Amino acid sequence: MSSNGLSPSPGNFFLMVLTAFLSTRHRSIFCFLCLVFFLLSLCRPAGAEPSLDVAGLQQRAVQLKLYEQRYWQVLLHYRKRGDGWESQIDDPGFFLAANGKTSPRDELVATVAALFGQPMAGEESPRCRYVARQAWLRKALELPVLAADAMKCPDFERTLQRVAPQAATLVFPGSYPNSPASMFGHTLLNFHGPYQSKQLAHAANYSAFTDETNGFAYALKGIAGGYRGYYSLLPYYDKIKEYSGLERRDIWEFRLRLTPEETRKMFLHLWELRNIYSDYYFFDENCSYNLLFLLEAARPDLSLTEQLPLWVMPVDTVRLVDRHDLIAEASYRPSVATLLSRQAAGLDSRETLLAQKLAGGELQGPELAETGLGAEGQIRVLEAAATAVELQFLKKELELGDYRRHYLQLLSTRSSLGAGPADRRSEHSPLRPDHGHGSFRLALGLGYSGSRWVQELDFRPVNHSLLDPEAGYLPGSQIELGTVALSFNEEKKHVLLKRIKLVDIVSLAPVNAFDAPVSWLVRVGLRRQALPEGRHLVMYMGTGAGYAWQRSRGLGYLLLEAEGLHERHLQTDIAIGGGASAGYLAQITAIWRLHARVRQIHYLVGERAWSGSIDLAQSLRIDRQNNLSLEVARRVDFGDWATEGMLFWNRYW
């Protein structure tokens, strides 16, 4: 009780308690609690970012002219168009500004607002999608890089951890004439993590999205930009199986000189491009061209996409990367069909028969020891048989269970014989495809035709003929598109269009004891030839199929052909018939190449007549980009006989 005998009021009581608490004994505790309360009032949730002045950031980005920076142009795939800019991305969902496709400035302003304004929820928020833009803008605008952003992106983080991009490899699956989409090869970019196996890498791919099965329709739409192309990320071992097995395509892998940070930048840009399309063009904005943007994202100063001609061959992009000293080393992976062809060539007749029996199941692996064959011979036979079984499975001639049982039995028997010779998968590495001759060719010729001297100029933009130096190209293949030849008559002083090869494709794939691929050809174009009423420019279309056989120095072939002609001086304007051609393609020495051919066609519909020829062509390689060729031919067209001989200087680039 108080001294006046009254109970204390509530206010007086609180004051008494506070006075007692603030005694010397409790003062230190009170001060500590106040400090904790003050610090807690300043704390924010983990990863939270102080409120940013978005308008100020936009103004600063414009003042710094970040929209003119090379890296911004790379991230948005901008190319100069007249006085302005235009992105080669056609998907409107890629841009944050309504006119972002043509205005780098407006897209930059919209991007700053989306990335640093009020955060949006969800995986498709700008902060989760545009990770490359955000990383660059934070650095350019001198904003702190947060350890944990306010907006979490689990899908991106999981993919980043799974891929773990630390190194990169440029992959070139070789040409495959049987597929219009693959006749010029392809390129991929592999991301490698800390693991050792290349097959565990993830491949960045760009390709047209289509279910078209008609090759002609595919080519036509691809030339006109009728398909959408998408970037994708997929396990590399799936692509190895597709290319080296089903499509008989050898694979070259080029390890790139890129740092882990540069490789990470490539991956960030690829993440932004997922599910985003661009119009796919077969000859320029194709699989290889669009992958160059990923390399530019790693090193913007490369400017790779600005250094290519009007049309882009995949092998030309490999050459371009090599010219910039980005390739550290190259490795070769033969396809199953290529490997089997080499193994079959190393067998004698008895070993071939035993390998066929093993592959067909008529002979079991352990029974091979009873044949009296030596250890070396057994190894050759078992390896060839195992590869033949693998090819049967890839061609869907074996069920998975039968394949595993048979294949593992052969491998088990093979392993019991010890190491033996070196692994044949690494033997006989051919010349790198980017070290072959250039895709363009200009030929200047002088010769004798039709009883007079003539000069000829021949330009071929794409890309290889049977007589060209074979090193770096698929043996026995020819792909010529858009070839134009002009002939100048010295006596009459006039220039004539001699021929246009719109399409001229030949695929000579040799058969062996285990595999019998079909060789074929297709030709479409215009050529000047004799008709019943003089020489005229004739439209022709032809195709053929047959088989080829490998010999010690060359390749022999026999093809059944069909051909149709159209010209108004023909009876009913057409001539349609069939016949055959046979030839021998030989590499006489390292620099001397020969092609001999006989051909005869009988026309049975429309104009009834026949045409035939005997051709002998030789080429002599001078260096990588120059050679000489001599072509001599004796021809008959609709009863008119002629002899022609031409000497050409060929320049490749």
* Domain range annotation of the chain: 54-128, 162-333, 336-426, 436-652
> Of 432, 434, 435, 438, which Cα lies nearest the Cα of 653?
438
The neighbouring-strand residues paired with 511 are 549
Global model pTM greater than 0.75: yes
Q: Within a 13 Å sphere around the CA of 115, how many CA atoms are in the beta-carbon half?
A: 25
The whole-angstrom separation of Cα 132 and Cα 151 is 15
pLDDT grade for 25, boundaries at 50, 70 and 90: very low
- At 345, the amino acid letter reads A
> What is the average per-residue pLDDT within 383-396?
93
Cβ 21 vs Cβ 30: under 8 Å: yes
The whole-angstrom separation of Cα 20 and Cα 17 is 5
Question: Residue 320: what pLDDT?
Answer: 93
The whole-angstrom separation of Cα 279 and Cα 420 is 52
Q: Where are the alpha helices (DSSP H) in 299-399?
A: 314-323, 336-345, 349-360, 375-394
Cα–Cα distance list, 442 to 314, 471, 505, 589, 626 (Å): 20, 19, 19, 24, 10
Cβ 458 vs Cβ 445: under 8 Å: yes
Strand runs (DSSP E) across 236-282, as ranges? 251-256, 277-280
Per the listing, tokens 């998968």 go with 425
Question: Residue 218: what pLDDT?
Answer: 65
The whole-angstrom separation of Cα 493 and Cα 463 is 31
Q: Where are the alpha helices (DSSP H) in 1-42?
A: 10-21, 27-42
Residue with the larger pLDDT of the pair 266 and 149:
266
pLDDT at 333 over 50: yes
Fold of the 436-652 domain: Porin (2.40.160)
Cβ 47 vs Cβ 148: under 8 Å: yes
pLDDT grade for 12, boundaries at 50, 70 and 90: very low
The 3 state secondary structure assigned to 466-498 is CCCCCCCCCCCEEEEEEEEEEEEECCCCEEEEE
pLDDT grade for 34, boundaries at 50, 70 and 90: very low
Question: Residue 224: what pLDDT?
Answer: 73
Beta-carbon count within 10 A of 602 CB: 13
pLDDT tens-place string over residues 410-462: 999 999 998 765 545 445 678 999 999 999 999 999 999 877 889 999 999 98
Beta-carbon count within 10 A of 22 CB: 11
pLDDT grade for 43, boundaries at 50, 70 and 90: very low
The neighbouring-strand residues paired with 539 are 526, 566
Exposed/middle/buried for 632, CB within 10 Å: 0-12, 13-18, 19+? middle
Cβ 410 vs Cβ 385: under 8 Å: yes
Exposed/middle/buried for 288, CB within 10 Å: 0-12, 13-18, 19+? buried
Task: Name, in order, each residue with C-beta under 8 angstroms of 41's C-beta and a sequence gap of 6 or more.
Answer: none
CA 81 to chain centre: 27
pLDDT grade for 58, boundaries at 50, 70 and 90: very high
Cβ 85 vs Cβ 79: under 8 Å: yes
Dihedral sign computed on CA atoms, order 161, 167, 169, 170 = positive
Cβ 360 vs Cβ 305: under 8 Å: no
The whole-angstrom separation of Cα 303 and Cα 305 is 6
Cβ 48 vs Cβ 150: under 8 Å: yes
Angle, helices 287-298/260-272, rounded to nearest 10 degrees: 130
Question: Residue 604: what pLDDT?
Answer: 95
Cα–Cα distance list, 416 to 175, 359, 379 (Å): 37, 18, 10
Question: Residue 117: what pLDDT?
Answer: 86
CA angle centred on 607, ends 603 and 609, rounded to 5°:
50
> Of 105, 22, 115, 99, which Cα lies nearest the Cα of 69?
105
pLDDT grade for 36, boundaries at 50, 70 and 90: very low
Question: Residue 650: what pLDDT?
Answer: 98
Cβ 179 vs Cβ 281: under 8 Å: no
Question: Residue 422: what pLDDT?
Answer: 52
Q: Within a 13 Å sphere around the CA of 518, how many CA atoms are in the beta-carbon half?
A: 7
Taking every pair of Cα atoms in the chain, the longest distance, rounded to a whole number of angstroms, is 147
Kindly state the DSSP code that residue 274 receives in the 8-state scheme. B
